[in-house]
Structure 1
Amino acid sequence: MAVSLQKGQKISLAKEAGGELNRVKLGLGWDVATQNVPQKSGLLGKLFGGGVGGDSIDLDASCIMFDANKQQVDAIWFSQLQSKDGSITHSGDNRTGAGDGDDEVINVDLSRVPSNVTALVFTVNSFTGQSFDSVANAYCRLIDANNNNEVARYDLSAQGNHTALIMAKVYRHNNEWKMHAIGEIATGRTFHDLMPAIVPFV
């Protein structure tokens, strides 16, 4: 059974999975809130959604790779769907959050992550600019890619007037991979805007 993470909690991936994890998937899911969402009309409404009943929110998941000096090594996001070393791939941009299950998935082959990379930080941004007041049922979950078993889930009580979340970190510690549920709110349309807020958690 998957661990239900609380903000600030840290777990060992191998311990929770019952053995060494080599390939994992981080899935992100969300829905458009059905209340407290301001209606938008005209051209801006068509461009950016808002409201309910078929409108959409474009949340974007990103993964930023850091070295031991807290310097960015690479980033995987909707404009670069694969890390330069090939160890991390992004499923692609889901612009609506419609449907059940994970809306965006980042695949990580931990055995291929370069040795100089010590931390992977996962973020989510509202690219269309709506605040998280418009978002419901947001979560991230870590899945063992070998058997699709869910290892850990972090339900994000994310509603508020912010436009981004620093979700979680997967990091090396004493030659094993661990996960840290961060859940810090932030502001920005892409991960670039979040870097000053991310670095203290690396």
Structure 2
Amino acid sequence: MTQAITHLSIGLGWDPAHANGLHPRRKDIDLNVAALSFAGENFVDVAFHEQLTSRDGALRHLGDSVTGEGDGDNEVIVVDLALLDPVVTTIVFLVTSYTGQRFDQIANGFCRVVDNVTGIELVRIDLDSVGAHTGLVVGKLHRPYQDWAFTLIGQPIIAQHVVNAVPQLSVYLH
């Protein structure tokens, strides 16, 4: 029997843009990770770089990186399902390129979902495999039965900001 998911995180990492002879003033790369909660098809709340904590405290963005500097996860959202508003039926995880670079133009970009109780990495996606897109619906937490489960979606979208992505998410809420 597998243990029910109660606490997980989504991490996002990438390398900063570096100037070189061809691109002496290269634009910084700013990727963002978001967790959006829904009750059925109705948007409830979000945690992302402009709102670090959901109203119920269940979704917490641990800080915005605007350059990708540093090793490992540059941005992390933690989810504590014990705090989640009981009306929430689905949490969708999203990555967007706020500065507009396509994922295939970003060095060493990745996102990963980790069960924080077991330490097991549930999924890892190398963003260059997503191709010429600026958004990625990573996956969702939902309750297909009684317990919460994570389902990989891995679908690219065109979105630089959460607001642009929300209308594209309804297909994943069933």
What TM-score, normalized by structure 1, do the two folds share? 0.75
Identity %: 34
**Secondary structure of the equivalent of 1:26?**
strand
Residue equivalent to 1:22: 6
CA 1:40–1:117: 2 relative to 1, 3 Å? farther
Instruction: Kindly provide the CA deviation profile for residues 133-183 of structure 1, in whole angstroms up to 9, marking residues without a partner as x.
Output: 222333322223346x13312223435322111111111121111111111
Q: How does 1:170-181 map to 2 (within 5 A)?
A: 170-181=141-152
Residue equivalent to 2:77: 106
Shift of 1:21: 3.2
Shift of 1:60: 0.4
Structure 1: give runs of 5+ residues left out of the alignment: 1-13, 50-55
Q: Which among 104, 120, 123 is matched to residue 153 of structure 1?
A: 123
Residue equivalent to 1:143: 114
Residue pair 1:137, 1:155 contacting (<8 A) in 2 also: no
Runs of 4+ in 1 over 2 A off after TM superposition: 19-22, 30-34, 38-41, 136-147, 156-161
Structure 2: give runs of 5+ residues left out of the alignment: none
Residue equivalent to 1:8: none
Higher RCO (Cα < 8 Å, 6 or more apart)? 1
Which has the larger displacement, 22-31 or 138-147?
Answer: 138-147
Aligned partner letter, 2:170: V
Instruction: Kindly provide the CA deviation profile for residues 54-84 of structure 1, in whole angstroms up to 9, marking residues without a partner as x.
Output: xx3100001110112x110011111100000
Residue pair 2:103, 2:109 contacting (<8 A) in 1 also: no
Aligned partner letter, 1:84: R
C-alpha separation between the residues in 2 aligned to 1:93 and 1:196?
A: 24
C-alpha separation between the residues in 2 aligned to 1:174 and 1:111?
A: 17
**Secondary structure of the equivalent of 2:169?**
helix
Residue equivalent to 1:61: 33
Q: Which among 39, 47, 50 is matched to residue 76 of structure 1?
A: 47
Residue pair 1:33, 1:133 contacting (<8 A) in 2 also: no
C-alpha separation between the residues in 1 aligned to 2:43 and 2:95?
A: 17
C-alpha separation between the residues in 1 aligned to 2:157 and 2:112?
A: 20
**Secondary structure of the equivalent of 1:39?**
coil
Q: How does 1:42-61 map to 2 (within 5 A)?
A: 45=26, 49=27, 56-61=28-33
Aligned partner letter, 1:59: L
Shift of 1:201: 0.9
Q: How does 1:86-101 map to 2 (within 5 A)?
A: 86-101=57-72
**Structure with greater Cα Rg:** 1
